[in-house]
Amino acid sequence: MSANATTRAEGSAAASAVASGRKTSFFTVYVNDSVFGLEVKEAQAIFRVGSITPIPLMQKEVAGFINLRGKVVVAVSLRRRLGAPPAEGNGESVAIGLEKGGEPFALLVDRVGDVLTLPDSARTDIPPHCDELQARYTRDLYVLESGLIPILDVQRLFDFS
Protein backbone atom coordinates (compact mmCIF):
# COMPACT_ATOMS: atom_id res chain seq x y z
CA MET A 1 0.00 0.00 0.00
CA SER A 2 2.69 2.39 0.97
CA ALA A 3 4.69 1.89 -2.18
CA ASN A 4 1.69 2.58 -4.37
CA ALA A 5 0.70 5.60 -2.44
CA THR A 6 4.19 7.00 -2.61
CA THR A 7 4.48 6.66 -6.36
CA ARG A 8 1.11 8.16 -6.94
CA ALA A 9 1.81 11.04 -4.62
CA GLU A 10 5.18 11.79 -6.09
CA GLY A 11 3.85 11.59 -9.59
CA SER A 12 1.12 14.07 -8.97
CA ALA A 13 3.42 16.31 -6.95
CA ALA A 14 5.84 16.51 -9.83
CA ALA A 15 3.10 17.17 -12.34
CA SER A 16 1.44 19.88 -10.34
CA ALA A 17 4.69 21.56 -9.41
CA VAL A 18 5.17 22.26 -13.08
CA ALA A 19 1.64 23.58 -13.49
CA SER A 20 1.44 26.15 -10.71
CA GLY A 21 3.49 26.99 -7.62
CA ARG A 22 4.92 24.31 -5.32
CA LYS A 23 2.91 21.48 -3.93
CA THR A 24 3.56 19.01 -1.17
CA SER A 25 2.12 15.53 -0.66
CA PHE A 26 0.84 14.31 2.67
CA PHE A 27 -0.45 11.07 4.05
CA THR A 28 -3.60 11.53 6.01
CA VAL A 29 -3.37 9.77 9.34
CA TYR A 30 -6.25 9.21 11.68
CA VAL A 31 -6.07 9.04 15.42
CA ASN A 32 -8.87 9.34 17.93
CA ASP A 33 -11.22 10.62 15.20
CA SER A 34 -8.86 13.46 14.31
CA VAL A 35 -7.04 13.69 11.03
CA PHE A 36 -3.47 14.88 10.54
CA GLY A 37 -1.14 15.25 7.62
CA LEU A 38 2.31 13.69 7.47
CA GLU A 39 4.67 14.62 4.70
CA VAL A 40 5.09 11.69 2.33
CA LYS A 41 8.80 12.11 1.92
CA GLU A 42 9.37 11.73 5.67
CA ALA A 43 7.69 8.33 5.87
CA GLN A 44 9.96 5.41 5.12
CA ALA A 45 7.48 2.61 5.57
CA ILE A 46 3.94 1.99 6.67
CA PHE A 47 3.27 -1.30 8.33
CA ARG A 48 0.76 -3.16 10.39
CA VAL A 49 1.81 -3.50 14.01
CA GLY A 50 2.38 -6.98 15.39
CA SER A 51 3.31 -7.13 19.04
CA ILE A 52 4.72 -4.24 20.99
CA THR A 53 7.07 -4.74 23.94
CA PRO A 54 6.25 -2.13 26.56
CA ILE A 55 9.16 -0.44 28.35
CA PRO A 56 8.39 -0.13 32.05
CA LEU A 57 9.48 3.15 33.65
CA MET A 58 9.56 4.90 30.27
CA GLN A 59 7.31 7.86 29.55
CA LYS A 60 3.89 6.65 28.57
CA GLU A 61 4.13 8.31 25.16
CA VAL A 62 6.66 5.66 24.23
CA ALA A 63 4.50 2.66 23.49
CA GLY A 64 7.42 0.23 23.35
CA PHE A 65 9.65 -1.66 20.96
CA ILE A 66 8.54 -3.11 17.65
CA ASN A 67 10.41 -5.66 15.61
CA LEU A 68 10.45 -4.15 12.15
CA ARG A 69 11.98 -6.75 9.86
CA GLY A 70 14.75 -7.72 12.21
CA LYS A 71 15.35 -4.20 13.45
CA VAL A 72 14.17 -3.00 16.84
CA VAL A 73 12.34 0.29 16.51
CA VAL A 74 10.96 2.58 19.20
CA ALA A 75 7.23 3.09 18.78
CA VAL A 76 5.68 6.38 19.88
CA SER A 77 1.95 6.61 20.36
CA LEU A 78 0.47 9.62 18.61
CA ARG A 79 -2.62 9.21 20.75
CA ARG A 80 -0.72 9.52 23.99
CA ARG A 81 1.39 12.32 22.58
CA LEU A 82 -1.82 14.25 22.02
CA GLY A 83 -3.17 13.34 25.43
CA ALA A 84 -5.99 11.30 23.95
CA PRO A 85 -7.50 8.31 25.77
CA PRO A 86 -5.93 4.88 25.15
CA ALA A 87 -6.97 3.06 22.01
CA GLU A 88 -9.72 0.48 21.97
CA GLY A 89 -10.24 -2.41 19.59
CA ASN A 90 -8.43 -1.82 16.34
CA GLY A 91 -6.87 1.48 17.41
CA GLU A 92 -3.15 2.01 16.96
CA SER A 93 -2.78 -0.91 14.64
CA VAL A 94 -0.75 0.89 11.99
CA ALA A 95 2.75 2.27 12.34
CA ILE A 96 4.64 4.68 10.15
CA GLY A 97 8.39 4.24 9.99
CA LEU A 98 10.13 7.59 10.39
CA GLU A 99 13.55 8.83 11.31
CA LYS A 100 14.94 11.46 13.63
CA GLY A 101 18.63 12.22 13.74
CA GLY A 102 19.44 8.94 12.01
CA GLU A 103 17.51 6.88 14.56
CA PRO A 104 14.50 4.98 13.33
CA PHE A 105 11.16 5.50 15.04
CA ALA A 106 7.67 4.26 14.47
CA LEU A 107 4.59 6.40 14.97
CA LEU A 108 1.49 4.49 16.03
CA VAL A 109 -1.74 5.73 14.48
CA ASP A 110 -5.22 4.29 14.12
CA ARG A 111 -5.16 4.22 10.34
CA VAL A 112 -3.60 5.83 7.31
CA GLY A 113 -5.86 7.31 4.65
CA ASP A 114 -5.37 8.85 1.22
CA VAL A 115 -2.56 11.02 0.04
CA LEU A 116 -3.32 14.70 -0.36
CA THR A 117 -1.28 16.93 -2.60
CA LEU A 118 -1.69 20.47 -1.45
CA PRO A 119 -0.42 23.76 -2.87
CA ASP A 120 1.86 25.86 -0.68
CA SER A 121 -0.67 28.67 -0.94
CA ALA A 122 -3.02 26.68 1.31
CA ARG A 123 -0.47 26.68 4.16
CA THR A 124 -0.93 28.81 7.30
CA ASP A 125 0.75 28.95 10.66
CA ILE A 126 -0.71 27.34 13.73
CA PRO A 127 -3.10 29.80 15.34
CA PRO A 128 -2.00 30.79 18.85
CA HIS A 129 -5.21 29.66 20.58
CA CYS A 130 -4.81 26.07 19.37
CA ASP A 131 -4.82 23.18 21.84
CA GLU A 132 -1.41 23.25 23.50
CA LEU A 133 -0.46 19.61 22.97
CA GLN A 134 -1.64 19.64 19.41
CA ALA A 135 0.20 22.85 18.70
CA ARG A 136 3.41 21.40 20.08
CA TYR A 137 3.43 18.46 17.71
CA THR A 138 2.19 20.13 14.55
CA ARG A 139 4.21 22.51 12.45
CA ASP A 140 1.58 24.15 10.27
CA LEU A 141 -1.92 23.91 8.90
CA TYR A 142 -3.32 23.48 5.42
CA VAL A 143 -6.68 24.87 4.49
CA LEU A 144 -8.86 22.42 2.57
CA GLU A 145 -12.30 22.87 1.19
CA SER A 146 -13.57 20.49 3.80
CA GLY A 147 -11.70 22.09 6.67
CA LEU A 148 -8.24 22.40 8.15
CA ILE A 149 -5.58 19.73 8.27
CA PRO A 150 -2.74 20.07 10.77
CA ILE A 151 0.64 18.73 9.65
CA LEU A 152 2.61 16.65 12.15
CA ASP A 153 6.07 17.79 13.23
CA VAL A 154 8.04 14.54 13.18
CA GLN A 155 11.11 15.99 14.87
CA ARG A 156 9.13 17.14 17.88
CA LEU A 157 7.09 13.96 18.10
CA PHE A 158 10.27 12.00 18.71
CA ASP A 159 11.98 14.56 20.88
CA PHE A 160 12.04 13.39 24.48
CA SER A 161 14.71 15.64 25.84
Partner 1 sequence: MDELLADFLSESREHIEGIESYLVSFEKNPHDSDAVTQIFRLVHTIKGTTGFLGLTRLQTISHACETLIDTLRSGAPPTAEAVSLLLLGMDRIKYMIAKVGELEQEPEGDDRDIIAPIEAYLQGGQEEPAKAEVSEPAPEAAARPKTKQRPAKAKRAKEQQPAASEPAKQEPSLSAEPSEAASAVQMAKEPQPAQPLEAETKGKEAEQTAGKDKTPDTIRISVLAIQRIMDLVSELVLTRNQILELSRQYNLAQVKAPLERLSTVTSDLQDAVMRARMQPMSRLFASIPRLVRELSVSLNKKYNLILEGADTELDRQLIEAIRDPLMHLIRNCADHGIETPEERLANGKPEAGEIMIAAYYESGQVHLEIADDGRGLDVDRIREKAVERGLGSREAIARMTDEEVYRFILMPGFSTAAQVTNVSGRGVGMDVVISSLSSIGGTIALQSTKGKGSKFILQIPLTLAIAPALVVKAAGQQFAIPQQCVNEAVGVDEESHTLQIVENALVLKLRDEIIPVAELAAILGLPAAEAYNDKLVVILGLRGKKFGIVVDDVVGIQEIVVQPLGRLFSGLKVYSGNTILGDGSVILILDPAGLADVMSVELASEAIHQQSREEAHITAMASNLILFKAGSGAPKVVPRSAVLRIVRPKASAIYQADQLYLYRCQDRLVPVLPVDDVNRDTDTCLILIITLHDKTFGLWVDEVLDIVETSGEIQLASETPSIVGTMDLRGTAVEFIDTGYYFGLAYQASQNVTEAPHANLLLVGSDPGMQDMLSPVLTSAGHKVTAAETAEQANKLLQQANFGVIVLDAKSRNSLDETVLSRQPDALRLVLSDGQKAGREPGHEGDVLINQFDRRGLLDTIAAHLEALSARVPEAANVNVAPLEKDVSFG
Nearest to 38 by CA among 125, 111, 146: 111
Chain residues in the site for partner 1 (CB under 8 A) = 50-51, 53-58, 62, 64-67, 69-72, 74, 103, 160
Nearest to 82 by CA among 136, 128, 42, 124: 136
- Kindly tell me the burial class for residue 154, based on how many C-beta atoms sit within 10 Å of its own C-beta (0-12, 13-18, 19 or more): buried
Q: How far is the CB of 56 from partner 1 (least distance, A)?
A: 4
Q: How far is the CB of 105 from partner 1 (least distance, A)?
A: 9
Instruction: Name the phi and psi angles at 27, rounded to 5.
Output: -80, 145
| DSSP code for 53 | B
**Residue closer to partner 1 (CB basis): 54 or 113:** 54
Q: How far is the CB of 103 from partner 1 (least distance, A)?
A: 6
Q: How far is the CB of 140 from partner 1 (least distance, A)?
A: 26
**Residue closer to partner 1 (CB basis): 11 or 50:** 50
**Residue closer to partner 1 (CB basis): 103 or 140:** 103
